[in-house]
Amino acid sequence: MLIRFTILLSAFLAASCAEVQAEDTPKPDIPIVSSGEIVWWPDFAPAEAVGVDNIWIWLPPSYASQPGKRFPVLYMHDAENLFDRRLSNFDKEWGMDEAITRMAARGDLREWILVGLSSPENRYQTLFPQKLFGLLPESYQQGVTGIEMGGIEAGFPLRGDEYAKVVAVDLKAKIDSEFRTLTTPEDTAVMGSSMGGLISLYIIAEYPDVFGQAAGVSTHLPLTGPEGGDPDERATQVSEAFRQYFSESEINPARNRIYVDHGTGTLDAFYPPYFKQFDGMMAELGWQLPAYESRVFFGAEHEENAWAQRVDIPLSFLDAKDP
């Protein structure tokens, strides 16, 4: 059983499991979407500097039909898994174009522009919350720097600070200059899953005056491999590191909002003790509804189909201005 979960962990942390497509079937350059329009940036230099090769911007249906309208913006990670399963690593997708269009049509969500960054090279190290590392016990630090399984290789430097800056400073400035965006924190959000959930929490804490809200779906709170050691002790160590980090940051439940969730199947089966400690820590720091929401989805697995089935919930949370 441990071997099975270790294989699953390596696949999702490194985003490197075998493609379902035949090797001789080329992938499309951009996603095909069911509504709206995709703009492709394959050579955005700041993103390339942190190993991100592609950025896909999804413009909702009314972007073209209402030229005087401005739109809120959602930034997401692992963009190859968001719109079109042919591009994905796992032959699955979130269905984000369908979700936003569906929710907007029934009046449950504003239409959001979605900016997706493809998975970076050395994804684990690049999406790791960098300042959190120094707040962990030395034994936990060794687990982070020494992780080596599947597509993850030990020895690469942590680059979470660089990645966060690319999203919050370089990319946001470019998006705001080229598209009709609403630029305030209340209209700017970041969301991801697994390691993408971790870096989303980190980005809002690093740039709380840029991002008003963040969501981490199946957030990988163990930070590294969940096996080994007492899970309750490890969960306490992680929550204490987050406590110190959040306390020293300028993130504030009076102006920022955070959503996290997890399932109970496959890799998510390891998460409950971590979320229990994390939720308690957040409550002690003053985070409660409507600024903080933590959910568990019993039986849900750590994969895109499960995230697609519940994505309406974090989307609704992120849009405090929904109709």
Give the pLDDT confidence of 184-205 residue by residue, as tens digits: 999 999 999 999 999 999 999 9
Please name each of the domains of the chain with its CATH number. 2-318 (3.40.50.1820)
Longest dimension (CA), the chain: 57
Closest by alpha carbon to 307, among 275, 266, 274?
A: 266
- Euclidean distance between CA atoms 128 and 124, whole angstroms: 6
- Residues 221-244: pLDDT tens digits? 999 987 778 999 999 999 999 999
pLDDT band at 89 (very low <50, low <70, confident <90, very high): confident
Q: What is the mean pLDDT of residues 49-64?
A: 97
Q: What is the pLDDT of residue 299?
A: 96
> Residue 44 is encoded by which pair of tokens?
């955005």
Q: Is the pLDDT confidence value at 218 over 90?
A: yes
Q: CA angle 217-8-99, nearest 5°? A: 30
- Residues 242-266: pLDDT tens digits? 999 999 999 999 999 999 999 999 9
- Residues 7-32: pLDDT tens digits? 455 545 555 333 333 345 566 689 99
Closest by alpha carbon to 193, among 308, 21, 114, 276?
A: 308
Residue with tokens 């995230």: 307
- Euclidean distance between CA atoms 323 and 309, whole angstroms: 22
CA 296 to chain CA centroid, Å, is 17
Q: Is the pLDDT confidence value at 271 over 60?
A: yes
Helix (H) or strand (E) holding 63: helix 62-65
Closest by alpha carbon to 136, among 224, 216, 77?
A: 224
Q: What is the mean pLDDT of residues 92-118?
A: 97
The angle, 0 to 180 degrees and rounded to 10, between the axes of the packed helices 138-145 and 231-248 is 90
- Residues 109-161: pLDDT tens digits? 999 999 999 999 999 999 999 999 999 999 999 989 887 655 666 778 999 99
Q: What is the pLDDT of residue 27?
A: 65
pLDDT band at 87 (very low <50, low <70, confident <90, very high): very high
Residue with tokens 């997708």: 93
Q: What is the mean pLDDT of residues 39-52?
A: 96
DSSP-assigned letters across all residues of 28-51 = PSS---SSSEEEEES--HHHHTTT
- The phi-psi region of residue 179 (left if phi > 0; otherwise alpha if psi is between -120 and 50; otherwise beta) is beta
Residue 254's CB is within 10 A of a number of other CB atoms, namely 6
- Euclidean distance between CA atoms 85 and 314, whole angstroms: 21
Q: What is the pLDDT of residue 152?
A: 67
**Terminal Cα-to-Cα distance of the chain (whole angstroms):** 46
> Residue 172 is encoded by which pair of tokens?
């946001």
Q: What is the pLDDT of residue 155?
A: 74
Does residue 182 sit in helix, strand or coil? coil
Q: What is the pLDDT of residue 15?
A: 52
Closest by alpha carbon to 215, among 290, 128, 317?
A: 317
Which of the pair, 20 or 59, is modelled with greater confidence?
59
Q: What is the pLDDT of residue 163?
A: 98
Q: What is the pLDDT of residue 26?
A: 64
